[in-house]
Amino acid sequence: MVDDAARNLRRERRRGRTGEAGSETSRRPDYRSLKNPFLPQPIFSADQVAAIHDTALRVLEQLGVKVLLPEARAILARAGALVDEDSQMVRIGRDIVAAALGSAPKSIRVHAGDRARDL
């Protein structure tokens, strides 16, 4: 008899009821407007980010990148990058990268399908 009562209580809990007279404990989250309550967790320390940035700048300066589109090579050459047309390699200096980062917007608006959900 006790086993039947315990089994019935477990069954009621699975259905979202506590077994008390008419009390409802099931949660109904609003999945359309979920909010993350936690702070972002950094993957890299500030020193590691600085090292990654410095390495990327060294690669752009010393090794360069292969740019296949002639128009893109012309634009980069006008910006001051060193362009080797034979190998299609472009070396971009730190000053060009710093100027590009300085002219980038501080934030970008992300448009959702529903304007109320824009970020």
pLDDT: is 21 or 13 the higher one? 13
Question: pLDDT tens digits for 44-93?
Answer: 999 999 999 999 999 999 999 999 999 999 999 999 999 999 999 999 99
Asked whether the predicted pLDDT for residue 25 surpasses 80, the reply is: no
Q: What is the pLDDT of residue 36?
A: 86
The residues, ordered by sequence, that sit 6+ positions from 33 with a Cβ below 8 Å of its Cβ are: 117
0.85 exceeded by pTM: no
